[in-house]
Structure 1
Amino acid sequence: MLAVLGRTMYRWRRPVLAGWAGLAIAGALLAGQLFDRLTPADGLRADAESRRAQRRVEQLLPAGPTVVAVVRDRDPYDPRLVSSVRAVDTGIRALPGIAAVDDLYSGAGGRIGADNRSSLVRVELATGLTATEQRRLTDRVVTALRGIDAPQVLVGGPDLARRAFGDRAVRDAAVGESVALVVLFVVLALALGGPVAGAVPLLAASAAVTGTLLGLRLVAAVTPVGEFTANVVTLLGIGLTVDYALLMIARFREERAAEPGAGTAELLARTTATAGRAVLVSGAAVGAAMLGLAVFAEPLLASMATGGALVVALATGVGLTAVPALLAVAGHRIPPLTRRALPRLVRRRASAVPAPRRSDPAGRWPVRMAGWWAGRVAAARRGRPGRPPIRGTTGGRAADVPSGGLLATLAGVASRRPGPVAVAGTAALLLLAVPFLVGANLADSDARALPRSMEARQVYDVLSRDFEAGRAAPVVVVVEADPATLTVRNLMNRLNRLPQVLRVQVRPDVPATSTVLDLTPRGATAGPPSRDLVRAVRELPVPARVLVGGPAAEAVDYGASVLARLPVAAAVLLLVTAVLLFGLTGSLVVPVKALVLAGLTLLATLGALVVVFQWGLGAALLGVDSWGGLDLTTPVLLFVFVFGLSMDYEVFLLARIKEEWDRLAGLRTAAARAEAGRRAVLVAVTRTGPVVTLAAGCLCVVFLGFLLGGLTAVKEIGFGMVVAVLLDVTVVRGLLLPAFLALFGEWNWWAPGPLRRWHARWSARGADRSAPPEPAGDRTGARPTPGRWR
């Protein structure tokens, strides 16, 4: 079926490209409307206890959004400052929609900072305003507050911080994408042999991303779409589409090099029948991982699930249709694989450079050394002197597989010493995971996710340092009982004796039927002491209805919700992975190993994040201001992204390993079968390794775009994905996967008898009739029987 798709894409290449171009243009024109409709997505579901506590407090003490101004660097009782603040406050009170204005001079609630040269002005907006009315009124209040006659006036507040986060996220996404696309074009043009070849993956990626933005625009008309969703899906769409396009291009070049006289339609049929199957399986696995976000039932993650599933579907569709159509149009401009070594100028210069001599004058031998190595690389890729090439097959035709490359070298080491490599690699990943397993601090980063240069972050820091004495945000306890009752008094006495509590305060003006308590915890906001206090309060036996809220309670509820649904999400991913990889390989062992390796990669990545973003080691190099924790959503997002992208490379390698195993298996003796399996791994890794390495490099370039922004939560995702990709391509794909394949031997392809027979019949029915015949035998004269050792 996929071979038929390849021929169809050749025959209908112009209509297919016109359709994708129309979708891309429509998406580009309507993308601006999407960004206007993005909303701050809530990270917690509505039935969480902390959310119910927040709604109850809002019922007891109705309050609208607030804007806070910190007036600094002048004596608070300077007559000119006093008159200026009063005049501005009077003008703000006259605005329609203002509920209250508090300052140092108009009531008993005024506050002076710890430096004795700053004071607060707090403006409360009325409740019931629409989003547009609230935004316009907030802008007028901010403009008025900036008119206060003081050397420095910082204006912020929770709503302004959320708005700043959203605006910065959109701006950072635009900058990150622009830089990533330019760098990707240069890298791809150099790696694939010219600007035409380099442009094919980027044209495909632009169609997938703009189509996703168009789809999200339609989704936003029905349900809220979070601001962070646009950042994630655009960069994820670029990374995935480039990966899929590289795999298709590499196989197309390989097929053309193996049979130069074949027509383009036949080459595309073989490409889609082999690499296209890997793209389809990978897309299904990554799409399932994206939908796995919905299992966690949090609004923010649900928005991510929708956007992620949409972009994966479009990336897969582009890889199977638009990329073959582009190859049908421009494939003759892409050099065959055997002709591609280094850029022509480098090859010509390198061939004339002799081996370096240590006696060369200082300053010259490094240049000669570089040229000599370039010549060695070029010669190796052309099959000239060097280690003997590995004999492999391409569509039933013998072909020389040039030895070398990072993955091939690592796979050779792992195949020769599988036991030590498996133990050492697993131990290294577990060691990296220790910081996360023993000391991760997960909390809502709030305004702390903003760079210190932004005004909303500066307001947060000044309020915490000069007006709150560095104390953590309170844990809010709502008791449905009169504060004068014995129940409330006993509860307050017990709360005062808790080791995590610094102070207990009763909020005034609460209706007599209820009590609202603010517990000031030790440590940082939503830190471990605060979360321990939330759990301790919830465990206290109280003969009244009690709700616990606040930032620490939100962190506890989020963690409990994720942990409760994590087994369900893992079960869904395991089931989908088992089905997809079984259809690809006929094995039930391979999916289990894939999940284990993905889990090790994720844990090691999270450990590296704790070291950099929580402990602050090396954070300055990334331009990160460590606030002592990780954002709540980072582990869940990385769980899905790391799993999805690890399946990407898993499928790329396993599809080729299985293809080579089917050609080499069927030998009579166990030793011969073991050698065939080892050679299948080496041939597959050697052939697929360069494209996987290049794809990983491109993916790192894409996610490095996250690090160009200023949002800490976004940088966590970008840094985590770069670390995960590097670990996956080197330690996991280069060492652990070949080592485990060598250790398990024929058991890699084990499945129960009925499933094995069903897969054999299904594979036989799905085989392309036009596929080239299998080789008659190997060097030993044995006749291969594909699928026998599944």
Structure 2
Amino acid sequence: MSTLLYSLGRWAYNRPWRVLVSWVLLLALAGGGAALFMKGTDNSFSIPGTEAQEGILLLERTFPQASGTSAQLIVVAADGDQVDEEPYVDAIEDTVAAYEDLDGVIAVTSPFSEVVDGLVSDDDSAAIIQLQFDGQSTAVSDETKDELNALADDLGASLPGGSQVALGGDLFSSSVPALSLIEAVGVLIALFVLIVTFRSFAVAWFPLVSALIGVGLGIALIYVSTAFASVSSTTPMLAIMLGLAVGIDYALFIVARHQDQVRAGVDPEESAARATGTAGSAVVFAGVTVLIALIGLGFAGIPFLTTMGIAAAVTVAIAVLVAISLTPALLGFAKGRVAGWGYRMLSAGVGPRRGAASPEKKRADAKKEAAKAEKAAAKAAAAQRPNRWVMLVTRHPLVTTIAVIVGLGVVAIPAASLSLALPNAGVQPTSSQARQAYDLTAEHFGAGYNGPLIMTGTIVTSTDPLGLMDDLAAEVEKIPGVKEVALSTPNETADTGLIQIIPETAPDDPATADLVRELRAHHDEWLDEYGVDLKVTGFTAVGIDISDRLGAALLPFGIFVVGLSLVLLMIVFRSIWVPIKAAAGYLLSVLAAFGVVAAVFEWGWGADLLHVTRTGPVISFMPIILMGVLFGLAMDYEVFLVSRMREDYVHTSRARGGRADRATAIGAVRSGFTASARVVTAAAIIMFAVFAAFVPEGDSSIKPIALGLAVGIAVDAFVVRMTLVPAVMTLLGEKAWWMPRWLDRVLPHFDIEGEAVERELKLSDWPEDAASTPVVADGLTVLADAGSGGEVPLFTGARFRMEHGGTLLALGDPRAARALLLTVAGRIEPSAGRLRVAGHLLPGRGAWVRAHVGVALLEGAEDPAGELTRALAGGTRIVVIDGIDTLDDAERDQAAAVLRDASGPRRDRRGVERPLTVLASARREGAALAFFADAHRDGVSELVLRRDPVRTPTTASAQTDSKGVEA
């Protein structure tokens, strides 16, 4: 990864206009697609397979006039008037008649209807007109909504002064989030932090430009996707928050590394490539953790939440791609003008002129730059005074650890009272008409009228459907928490019954959820007694089912993200204790964030300050989204902070001959913290500012999520990562980097510290004549797992080189010979030594080698000639062949003919004319040489893998001939 990013960084740096124009064109195309195909967002919520959803589907088939979304118009008479008297009665009835003529309205219930009870308040001061629509809220057009509001306004104007009219209900229960100027404050704060961090106005804009282009592209693609998928209105806002935060931070890490290197004297072009290869690798890893966590939102099994996670993940992925490609391009515009105020570049403008230099000169210059950068970094690290904060924390690590854990535990206490519900009109601003209707309904009729429940079931077997519905209504009214049964009736064909229940409590009150569970608890009893399979449904029941499903998903999702963090961090840091510490710190951050959200939105602490219009349950998917997003961001800080500690620990240990003690470990904690604290602090402040900006004027759905993320980021960055982490690392000492050897072998390697880049630069001039040397190895060693916790060398110390068109035959131990070939082909990573194939150093360039070196395993192949033909396809000029001595005469002739036809000079994939270079293995020398003779390949060199009777490893030796193979 780091070597590919290194090349990408250099390429983008030298072609800034091409990269910038490409991203702008992509943004323009996506924006045009959004304008053409966007169908708008969908705020309807559903969960396939739940009882509430099954009930809605039943109503759609048998009781369509009760299955769609609903609205209600409340009329409150002026003081001293009664709503059941004139002029209210006539005005209300005229409005009912007008509503019946609107498109999409399939039923209007007058408050004075004899069929439905409870639509006039007990004191006759208020009345409700109920409206039923065809389909869910997304099916109701904006024109119909405008006409609904216009008729409501006309009714209000015709009534006596002092009366009130408000339109609300399920149709208007969800508001569409929108950006405001307050959110822009977060971006301005981010710009200020960047200016202070970089000490440069020009450089400070680079992360912002990168983030804004990435966010714009991500949001445009989300709106394009509305043409074929259902996307909630909360999704774009969540994507904007995440895209801005991670987009700025990811570019910040790359630019900060580049600026440090340029200040230390590295040529700007080389520095941009190195920054992209090192910090860019950490950016890719951090982005992957965020992606996995967001995609993991699908654990809940809720379609709209899965869509939300995927959409946010796409935005984050785009932010990563923009950061690693556009950021070095922007640095290419700045060239050497990135040092900032008060800094003088040690080598400004002195770097090598890459365009005119030969390949050999480029490699020599790169090696000089690498050495210069390494010396400058070492000098800077030695001269850098330890950060005062980390000195204080590491001087008293046990006290710090206890204080942080106890403090965050206290902050998390309110989280125990956190309750969840879907948003309704009651959490909208008081200026909203839907909120006014909600409050007036609760005041004059009771809170339960804002969230009626529906029970429905098939009654086709009943001989007395009306009597049956009366009996069921009587049973329901006995249930505690039921205020009244407003309607109990069969449909027109008398095959389905419907009971409308008014709870005593509000739709987001936990008591209403208890009522739903209690009604469902009587299912079997009423099925046995009345023969009716009743289901509890309706908008309120759907919300309760979603909240229950999300609550049940929190534990498995938490196990998933914590387990994921353990595995990912073990891969990165090759340690057991560092991942455990990181996961524990993440849980502390999550609990603290939950505690603050509960304190504000349920206890009301600071609610007025944050413009919280109504305290109570928070949106159902806040916890799972907060856990997923905060996981990815917490891992960002863990990686960027602790990777620098590990880098210093490893380098110091190597300088001491591989010896490390407690003092070395603590010194690495302090130096690593000091080197990365500035950038991590800036990144955390920027993220906090972006998230916090969505709190004061944010939508009711976004506000608790934004607050939780802002608090979580602040706690995780400043309390956990920058206080608890160095304290615990100090307590652990050198044991922090311990890992069992068997686990170290099992886990894959992910280079986030740019070690492959460092190795490539150091070996840039090896061998001297790389252009004429397709394969060269020096001290090449491959180890194999012994199966009992140890490793056995397959071969050690292999040293050979080949010229284009050469043939090398590996003889001896067949397992070692095959391993040698597969190592050259990039299929096996070398354990030690140096290996360059077609100019590409392994294992760093393994992906390129695997794509360009053919492999033919002939032993046991059904069609050996066909196997060799496939290996030679695509213009490859290097091929490895195993098992040529296992072929019979006919197979050998066919395979030799294939190799003979391919051996002449041909153009490789880069258009350069090259003869074919062959590496093969065999047990029988004679058969192999006969095969090559048939293939007209002369001058075969032999690499003999012998078992040394004294030493266990297989050693490599070879004969040398005119083809230049030596060992």
Identify the match of residue 508 of structure 1 among 469, 476, 489.
489
Structure 1 residues 582 and 269: alpha-carbon distance in aligned structure 2, compared to 1, 3 A threshold: farther
Structure 1 residues 457 and 502: alpha-carbon distance in aligned structure 2, compared to 1, 3 A threshold: closer
Instruction: Indicate the residue corresponding to 1:145 in structure 2.
Output: 152
Structure 1 residues 539 and 80: alpha-carbon distance in aligned structure 2, compared to 1, 3 A threshold: closer
Identify the match of residue 468 of structure 1 among 434, 441, 446.
446
Alignment of 1:354-503 (within 5 A): 395-400=377-382, 402-403=384-385, 408-437=387-416, 439-468=417-446, 473-478=451-456, 480=458, 499-503=480-484
**Which one is further off, 11-20 or 82-91?**
82-91
TM-score using structure 1 length: 0.81
Alignment of 1:646-665 (within 5 A): 646-665=634-653
Look up the SS of the partner of 1:47 in the other structure.
coil
CA contact (8 A) 2:33 2:224 kept: no
TM-score using structure 2 length: 0.67
Identify the match of residue 219 of structure 1 among 222, 225, 228.
225
Structure 1 residues 507 and 154: alpha-carbon distance in aligned structure 2, compared to 1, 3 A threshold: same
- Measured in 2, the distance between the counterparts of 1:186 and 1:114 equals 59
- Partner deviation per Cα, 1:498-526 (whole Å, 9 max, x = no partner): 55555566622456555544555554434
- Partner deviation per Cα, 1:698-731 (whole Å, 9 max, x = no partner): 1122112212425222111111111111111221
Identify the match of residue 18 of structure 1 among 17, 21, 24.
21
CA contact (8 A) 1:253 1:337 kept: no
Identify the match of residue 64 of structure 2 among 59, 62, 65.
62
Structure 1 letter corresponding to 2:404: G
Structure 2 letter corresponding to 1:626: R
Figure out how many residues of one structure are paired with residues of the other and give that number. Answer: 711
Structure 1 residues 512 and 394: alpha-carbon distance in aligned structure 2, compared to 1, 3 A threshold: farther
CA contact (8 A) 1:475 1:518 kept: yes
Deviation of 1:153 after TM superposition, in Å, equals 5.1
Structure 1 letter corresponding to 2:595: G
Look up the SS of the partner of 1:622 in the other structure.
coil
**Highest CA radius of gyration, 1 or 2?**
2
Alignment of 1:94-493 (within 5 A): 94-104=101-111, 109=116, 111-113=119-121, 116-125=124-133, 127=134, 134-148=141-155, 149-150=158-159, 151=161, 154-162=165-173, 165-166=175-176, 169=177, 171=178, 173=179, 175-258=181-264, 260=265, 262-336=266-340, 339=343, 395-400=377-382, 402-403=384-385, 408-437=387-416, 439-468=417-446, 473-478=451-456, 480=458
CA contact (8 A) 1:507 1:517 kept: yes
Structure 1 residues 3 and 129: alpha-carbon distance in aligned structure 2, compared to 1, 3 A threshold: closer
**Which one is further off, 587-596 or 105-114?**
105-114
**Which one is further off, 585-594 or 262-271?**
585-594
Deviation of 1:34 after TM superposition, in Å, equals 7.1
- Measured in 1, the distance between the counterparts of 2:570 and 2:130 equals 62
Identify the match of residue 607 of structure 2 among 619, 627, 631.
619
- Measured in 2, the distance between the counterparts of 1:280 and 1:91 equals 59
Structure 1 residues 760 and 96: alpha-carbon distance in aligned structure 2, compared to 1, 3 A threshold: closer
Look up the SS of the partner of 1:609 in the other structure.
helix
- Measured in 2, the distance between the counterparts of 1:293 and 1:25 equals 30
**Which one is further off, 68-77 or 410-419?**
68-77
- Measured in 1, the distance between the counterparts of 2:299 and 2:316 equals 18
Structure 1 residues 333 and 564: alpha-carbon distance in aligned structure 2, compared to 1, 3 A threshold: same
- Measured in 1, the distance between the counterparts of 2:143 and 2:244 equals 36
Instruction: Indicate the residue corresponding to 1:48 in structure 2.
Output: 50
- Measured in 2, the distance between the counterparts of 1:521 and 1:138 equals 28
CA contact (8 A) 2:258 2:271 kept: yes
- Measured in 2, the distance between the counterparts of 1:121 and 1:732 equals 55
- Partner deviation per Cα, 1:319-349 (whole Å, 9 max, x = no partner): 1111111112125333358739xxxxxxxxx
Structure 1 letter corresponding to 2:55: A
Structure 1 residues 642 and 217: alpha-carbon distance in aligned structure 2, compared to 1, 3 A threshold: same
- Partner deviation per Cα, 1:607-664 (whole Å, 9 max, x = no partner): 1111100111110001112332211111111111111111111111122111111112
Alignment of 1:599-638 (within 5 A): 599-638=587-626
Structure 1 residues 337 and 766: alpha-carbon distance in aligned structure 2, compared to 1, 3 A threshold: farther
- Measured in 1, the distance between the counterparts of 2:716 and 2:203 equals 26
Structure 1 residues 129 and 631: alpha-carbon distance in aligned structure 2, compared to 1, 3 A threshold: closer
Instruction: Indicate the residue corresponding to 2:864 in structure 1.
Output: none
Is 2:691 the counterpart of 1:703?
yes
CA contact (8 A) 2:442 2:448 kept: yes
Instruction: Indicate the residue corresponding to 2:517 in structure 1.
Output: 535
Deviation of 1:424 after TM superposition, in Å, equals 2.1
Q: Which of the two has greater helix per residue? A: 1
- Measured in 1, the distance between the counterparts of 2:137 and 2:474 equals 43
Look up the SS of the partner of 1:769 in the other structure.
helix
- Partner deviation per Cα, 1:558-590 (whole Å, 9 max, x = no partner): 344235444543454345434432332222433
**Which one is further off, 180-189 or 265-274?**
180-189
Structure 1 residues 494 and 128: alpha-carbon distance in aligned structure 2, compared to 1, 3 A threshold: closer
- Measured in 2, the distance between the counterparts of 1:136 and 1:633 equals 31
**Which one is further off, 246-255 or 420-429?**
420-429
**Which one is further off, 488-497 or 658-667?**
488-497
- Measured in 2, the distance between the counterparts of 1:337 and 1:658 equals 31
CA contact (8 A) 2:695 2:707 kept: yes
**Which one is further off, 129-138 or 21-30?**
129-138
Deviation of 1:596 after TM superposition, in Å, equals 1.9
Higher relative contact order structure (alpha carbons within 8 Å, sequence separation ≥ 6): 1
Deviation of 1:425 after TM superposition, in Å, equals 1.2
Look up the SS of the partner of 1:56 in the other structure.
helix
- Which structure 2 segments of 5+ residues have no match? 345-373, 764-830, 833-967
Task: Give the root-mean-square deviation of aligned CA atoms.
Answer: 3.6
Look up the SS of the partner of 1:305 in the other structure.
helix
Structure 2 letter corresponding to 1:334: V
Deviation of 1:13 after TM superposition, in Å, equals 2.5
CA contact (8 A) 1:401 1:683 kept: no
Look up the SS of the partner of 1:507 in the other structure.
strand
CA contact (8 A) 2:469 2:489 kept: no
Look up the SS of the partner of 1:70 in the other structure.
strand
Structure 2 letter corresponding to 1:281: F
- Measured in 1, the distance between the counterparts of 2:505 and 2:108 equals 31
Deviation of 1:175 after TM superposition, in Å, equals 3.8
Instruction: Indicate the residue corresponding to 1:380 in structure 2.
Output: none
Q: Which of the two has greater strand per residue? A: 2
- Partner deviation per Cα, 1:366-408 (whole Å, 9 max, x = no partner): xxxxxxxxxxxxxxxxxxxxxxxxxx9865444356547xxx4
Identify the match of residue 768 of structure 1 among 758, 763, 778.
758
CA contact (8 A) 2:168 2:433 kept: no
Deviation of 1:187 after TM superposition, in Å, equals 3.6
Structure 1 residues 770 and 100: alpha-carbon distance in aligned structure 2, compared to 1, 3 A threshold: closer
Structure 2 letter corresponding to 1:628: G
- Measured in 2, the distance between the counterparts of 1:214 and 1:552 equals 33
Q: Percent identity?
A: 27
- Measured in 2, the distance between the counterparts of 1:412 and 1:479 equals 69
